[in-house]
Amino acid sequence: CKQVEGTMTEYHKPPKQAKVAILTAGGLAPCLSSSVGFLIEKYTARNPSIEIICYISGYKGLLSGEHVKVTDAVRENASVLQLHGGSPIGNSRVKLTNVEDCVKRGLVVEGENPLHRAAEQLMMDQVTILHTIGGDDTNTQAAKIAEYLEGHNYPVTVVGMPKTIDNDVVPIKQSLGAWTAAEEGAKFFANVVNEQSANPRMLIIHECMGRDCGYLTAATAKAYMDSLHGLPLLPGLNLTKQRKCLHAVYVPEVRIDVDAEARRLKRVMDTHDCVNIFLSEGAGVHDIVAQLEARGESVPRDAFGHVKLDKVQPGAYFAKQFAEKLGAEKVLVQKSGYMARAAPANVADRALINACATLAVECGIKGNSGCIGQDEERGDSLRAIEFPRIKGGKAFDVRVDWFQDLLRQVNSV
């Protein structure tokens, strides 16, 4: 079907029977598989005659029309998805409003609007309810598609579920998967910390995901420090809590005074023969990027305009900054991000996902669009939050009691 800018190809009128489509998009989080499973189960319990399809690889699949139908066998065994991480239907980082990138990927042709193409595909597939599981970009893009279709007399109810391990979506109190990611990151470091015994004067930096929000780093640090409570140790043989403890936690919301911190950590190194640091991958990035660009170096960015952190490597940057100042003999930088984000949802996250999915299905059937979450601006009530209010970049509130308690523990070593 050839599309002309500003027009919509004529298809059948919206079907009387509801038809559901599900897609997952953006980076992974420990909630995607669980969310897909709960949605399938709840629609089946509500009305097994409702057809469900899943677009493959997020918005890439929507643009290409690639999808799978949820069969009776899948419905009967959807609970299996609670045991798995990742997304069974695949993700991609396609931004519908980045026309140049969509053309480059071969998803649309030159002069074609990806939003129109996606809207047209939903009409072709006769979808009446679209569930998007992703971050702020995923859900606001879906809202734009729905708005476009509404203007062409093809109403689609769009109900999002907030996925991000950074917990940085405004105004949502707790995004899906963030609790699990923190728990998994703590487990990861519980093994890595033993590397302090591999070499004298060891500096270990645990780099956690978190571009502009320090929540995941802070929550992971808290989960790890909590895990040390009651852990049997043997101080008489140098197996001490001080060597297992964290000695610094750095998040993007707090500027790092490298010289002052180096003086403090040098005393820790001299006393305990090791230093353990938790670093958010976004901490200090603005300073690093400024230095690179001042030297005339280009800083690569993704389709969303985000700096590609794997190219900037904040962990390596701070390792170099601290190593000499602390007199470290060996430096180890380890990243838990991929392990943490690809894990199956834990008990706490599954309970939240279950509640969100229940309301998402209810909203879908009733025709109420929005992103399901605990609305911080409405008394933390679980509701379909209006899409125009959904935004990314929520900063971690470093003033919360549990984080201040954590810093006191860390700084007292």
Q: Which residues are catalytic?
A: 166
The structure tokens listed for 385 are 């939050």
Cβ proximity of 26 and 58 under 8 Å: yes
Which residues lie closer than 8 Å to 380 by C-beta, 6 or more apart? 173, 374
CA distance 320 to 328: 10
Helix or strand run (H / E) with residue 277: strand 274-280
CA distance 263 to 146: 55
> Largest alpha-carbon pair distance within the chain?
79
CA dihedral 147, 152, 157, 162 (to 10 degrees): -30
Phi, psi dihedral angles at 172 (to 5 degrees): -90, 130
Sheet containing strand 274-280, strands side by side: 248-250, 274-280, 202-208, 330-335
Sheet containing strand 157-162, strands side by side: 67-69, 51-55, 19-24, 129-134, 157-162, 370-375, 381-385
The structure tokens listed for 277 are 């640091």
Phi, psi dihedral angles at 384 (to 5 degrees): -85, 100
β-bridge partners, 305: none
Phi, psi dihedral angles at 152 (to 5 degrees): -115, 25
CA distance 406 to 108: 49
The structure tokens listed for 376 are 């911080």
